[in-house]
Structure formats: structure tokens, C-alpha cells
Structure 1
Amino acid sequence: MAKYCKYDHPGEVTKKVGDSRTCIQMRRGREDIEKFLIWELVHGEINFWKDKWCPTDHLEPLQQDKEEDLLVKDCWSGNEWSEDALNTILKESSAERISKIHFDRNKKDQIHLIKRTSSSLSKDIQNSIFRGDNCQCNIFTCKKFLTPSMLFFSWRVLNDLIPTDDILKLKGLKVISRCHLCKNNQEFSDHLFFSCRFSRDVWKHLTSKFNLNLINVGRGNIKENLKDWQEINLMSLPFSVAWFLWNARNNVKYEDIGTNPNSVGSNCQAYLQKLISWKKFHKILKNLPNIELKQLKVIKVRWEKPPYPFIKINTDGSFTNRKAGIGGIFRDHTSKVLLYFKAPYIAADALDTEATALYWALNFSMEIQWNKINAEVDSYLLVDLITENTLPPWHII
């Protein structure tokens, strides 16, 4: 907050023309949080009048003109309150109450929550602010049924932070607004998630699979209708559907990947089936197939010596977006290491590194005239390419 209030006290910063969205949100957060906090006096490096370090009714100034930059420590004399200093700025009753407040100058000024209920200050603040019918609080109650990405997306929806065309226009960007799903109307969140022809077809696909009545549940604005979904214990449902609609919209806009309502509806249905089977979500689907967890098959892999007089080559390739590398090792029938190599490499993909590592290993074998070779790689695709079971990509040829 300091960068936004270089010359003002943080509690007195007001809205200015040109304020960033970050500054506006911080100011709103300050207004909500301030009433729950109080300073513990230690060094006294806090403002006597503007910071909250005692009950507000304790500070009754003796006169209207008061020293705005006065610090609490200016009213101390050693490790005690200075009665003379207090009596020059406060009424007698206030000065008497203030002089009874204890402080310890051997520590550091700390800020505390007025009513602590747990060991976490952040958690106490969240519980104090986000309670009752507050949307930001409610969304976190259904985190059991939403992935972290979905939960963050839902929070952004509730705070009008997803970059739909109407939000981009508010930020000053000049865009030609068009819904990328229905291609007809301008794009805004309510249209995209509920009133768009595409989204209506998705909801129609889903509701035909439900064994519950949604007639009394509003579907026009998530924030306004959140209570309706909460009353039937399905608050996570509209956010789940909105998530899949948002992904479909982004695929069309940025990847030029077409989609259809049935496909998006099926993805939503599949997600709900998993929630019902594994997360004890409400059984709202009519026909729920039995989804069984696949049994993991463990295959033990161990290195074996080659028969005499063969030499075994083990190669591997490593590939990331930033760099790649290749390497290999030669061993004889007694497991003795005869040769090894490693090198950085510029590759197109992981298969490229695996193929290149094997190529150089075979090349070294020919130069040394090791003619009886066993080669092991850890890429099934490379094995298929070598045995001609799969056609190779052009960059491997």
C-alpha cells in the first residue's frame, strides 16, 4: 500500500482519477479489514490520532486543532506515559484512560485481530469478513467439488474479473464484441453462461439428464441467483458448467478449435459423474454408470547383463521447452562400463532426443568396431519406428 500513499496516511487515502484496479481493490480491502484490527503498543512508531491502538472513545482531544503527525511514543517518558504530554492534548477523562494502557518497549509494534479465534490471523480476517450471504465466502464452501483452477475461476466470475469483451471495453481496449459461441450477440458473462443459444443448449442437454426440478432456480446471473443454487445444495453446479463453457469459448477464440453444445454438455456430465462417484456429490443424474477405479499394474523393470560377447547400450533423451540433452552408456557381459557420453542438443520434441541418442550410440559403436550390440531405449514409440510398425514423423527421417 505504501507506493499508493507516499504523502498520506494509509487510512486517509481516497479515490483519485487514474487509480489502478489494484489500488482500488486494496482500498476496499482496507475498509473491510480495518475495523477488525488493533495495534499493540511496543515502540510507539504509530500515529496517535490516525492509527487504531485503543478504543476510539478514549481519544477526546482537548481542542480541535491537533498535531496530525503526533506519534504515540511522543507521549511517553521512558517506560511510562507522560501525564503532562497527555493532559496537553486530551481531556482529563481520556488522559486517565490512556495512561492505564500497558506497553513494552522491548518488543516491536504488532497488529492484532480484536477477537482472535484461531492461530491464523488471515483465517480470522477471512471468517470475519466473508460470512453470512457474502458471495466471496460462499464459493469457498463448495471447494470440495471444484478443482483449484475452477475455484479461482469462480472467484473471478463473482468479482467480474474474467476478460469478457464488456470487461475489456471498461479497461479501455477497443474490441469488436461478438460471442464466440453463438456468433450473434455481444459477449458478456451473463450471456456467455446462460442466455447464449450455445449455452442454453448445453444447459438443456444437462437438465435432460437430471432427476431434479430446476424451475425455481434462476439462470440469468450467477451472483444474483447464487442463493437459489445454495438452497438446493448445488452451488458448485453453475460454476462447473461455466468453467466448461469458458474453456470452449477460449478454444474457439484462441485455438480456432470448433465445438458443439453436446460435446460441452457431455464433458460437464462426465465431471459430475466423477463427483458423484468419488466426492459424494448429490446424485442428480438419472442414469449413473458404475465408474470403477482402474487397478494400477506395476511392472518391475531391471537392467540385465548382455550375453557374451555382446555389449549393451542404454540411451536416453531429455526434452523441455527450454533445453534438451542426450546420453548413453556401454556395458559388457560383466556389467563393466566401457564408455559413456552426454551432450546438450537442440530438439523438436522428446522423440527427437531419444532417436538422436540412439543414433550417436550406434555411430560410436561403428567407429570402435563393436559389432555385436544390444540396444535398450525407454521409448515405445521409437521402438515402433525402428521395427517399422509406425510411420516416422518428417523430422525423424
Structure 2
Amino acid sequence: MRLERAGTMARPYKVFTPAKASVQTGAEQTNLYTSSLRGKRVGMVVNQTSMIRQTHVVDSLLALGITIKTIFAPEHGFRGTASAGEKIGNGRDPKSGVSIVSLYGKNYKPAAAQLDSLDVVVFDIQDVGARFYTYISTLHYVMEACAEAKKPLVVLDRPNPNGHYVDGPVLDPAFKSFVGMHPIPVVHGLTVGELARMINGEKWLAGGVQCSLTVVPVKGYTHATPYTLPVAPSPNLPNRQAVLLYPSLCFFEGTNVSLGRGTDTQFQVIGSPTYPSGPYTFTPVDKPGAVNPPNKGKLCYGYDLTKIDAQKLGLSLKYLLDFYQKTPDKETFFLKTNFIDKLAGTDQLRKQVIAGVPEKAIRQSWEPALSRYKQLRKTYLLYL
């Protein structure tokens, strides 16, 4: 694992293989948006993925004379080193000197007072295309705050590495949470910019408000374009394989099964101390970005998925169904909190797994909502 340094802070995230040179993110195309930022007080919603090649977008814009007053940091923090769910505090970036406001923990949404001193807000965070990945929830609250404060929002768009398909149950609003805020399927097939357009257009913000939104689109990208993220989007999605497996494996976050947090193969292995069979074993331990991981210190039995064709797999339920069917104590398989319901956006999936419903029938139950969403999606697409 390569350690990138910013100031005196080491960032334990991997740098992936560079993306195709023909694809240019919104952030890279500074000629399209810097003129609208000059002379204004700018707030930046960014993290470690907000790069223009080898330079952070904050540093790039400061070098171009843009006045950045505030950095708003999402889950995992500005430099991306915090564990999932870990509360992030406010502070100051040691490199740029810009103040940092956390948007994770108690303060999901920028307060009106935090926007008073700003003229415009810029959102530039790499998403992975799954509804339960919380950066799009941060996007929602930032849009809402900007709408209420009448501050324009500029989204610097980035490709969706899982943008080549749409799948999964559509969220029932009764199960709305920070890991699922919109009536969209688990794999929504939208970039952040396209989703922002949908949130605005469908009036999903509180009170039906709409923000003044500008999307700087990706150049040279279609939803069929294979895209490897230049920087790991969070500590526990360390490579392309993990990103592609994430939509299928994240359901296990609502169970007693380990997803490899606390190993070097996060979201690429699955296992449990009580699973009766499986050719692979691992033992989770404390790691940067994975403090007190599930099943810490316990030998877990299961599967190594590092070599399977994850792109071809798409969104699969076979591993979830297999582990439930073979677990000796089904009463403790799903967490007592029923967190699986928030991840799925419905309690139907949990009940279907318990009832032994086959995957084909489970998929059929996602209709007609899934087909309706696919039709709605067409309205907001910026890319083929």
C-alpha cells in the first residue's frame, strides 16, 4: 500500500491504475468553471478523491487565485482516513490553511451560518454508483442547504465505475436513512451530476425546494466506458475489484458476516466464524480505516472473491442467500437493528431470505418499480 502525504498527514489509501487519458473529469476542465468562481468566496465539498491528476482540486484552485473559505468533509474525512461510521471533527487543513467543517456525525447538513460567508459551493467527490454509499447522501444535504440559503451549487462530475447497469430493489421511503435517501435502486446507474439533476428535478429536497445547480460534465465518457478510479474512494474500497463487488457484498453489513474489514482484501472476501464450509479463511484485525472491524480477532471461514469477474457478476444475491442457508444459527444472522432493511431500502429482502425465496423470484419482486425507475433515469442522463 502506497502512503500519500499531504503536509504531515499520511493517507493510507491506494492509488489505482490511472484512468483512460481520453476521459476528463469535470474538475480537470478548469476552463469551464473557474471564471464563475473568481472574486467569490467558495466552499468546497471534497475528499481525497477530489484530484486533478496529481494535485488536489483545492490546491489547484488556490494556485489559480480562487478564494476558498471552507472545506466541507464527508464520511471518512477530508483526507479519507477515517473508519466507516467514525465521527469526524472540524479543524483546519495543515497544507492549505483552509478551515474544515465535518458533514459526518451530528452535522450531515451545512448550517445556514456556515454558508453565510460563502457565495458559491463546489461539490467534487468520486462516487461508486451504489445507493448506500453515503457521499450521495452528503450531496443531498448540501443541495438542500444551498437551496434554502439561495447559494448556487457547482457539481464537478466524475464517472460512475458501476454506471454500466441498473439493478436492485427501489427504496421504499419508509426506510429512508443516511444510507438510502432516494427512491432509486441499489445500483442507480447515474453519475453524481446526473443524480443531482434528478434530485432537483423530482423535488426530493425537503419542502420540494430546488437549488441553483450547475453540472460540469465529464468529457469523453459514456456509461459503457470502463473506468478505474484514480484514487480509492474510501479506506475499505481499496481497488477496482472491491468497487465492483460493493453493490453485492454491502448487504452483509447488516449481518454477522465479515466483509474483510480489518484485512487487506476489504469487500473482496466474505466469511464468518460460524460458516460451516468455504475454502478460504481470514482473521480481521485493526487496520487504518477499519478500527474494531466485525469479527475482530476471530478466524472466519468463507470465500476469496479477488479473482472472480466482478463486472460480469453485477448485483448478485447468491452469496447472501448461501450464507444464510448454511449458517447454523439463523436467529443471529441478521443484526438485531435490522440494518439490512436500510441497506436494501425495504424489509422485503430480509423476509424473502428468511423464507427461502429463490433469487429469481426475489428479482421479480423488484418490478415494476425498477422498470419505472429506468424510464425516469432517461430524463436526467448527461451521457449515453
State the TM-score, normalizing by the size of structure 1: 0.25
Q: Which has the higher contact order (CA 8 A, sep 6+)?
A: 2
State the TM-score, normalizing by the size of structure 2: 0.26
Normalized per residue, which structure has more strand? 2
Q: Which has the larger radius of gyration?
A: 1
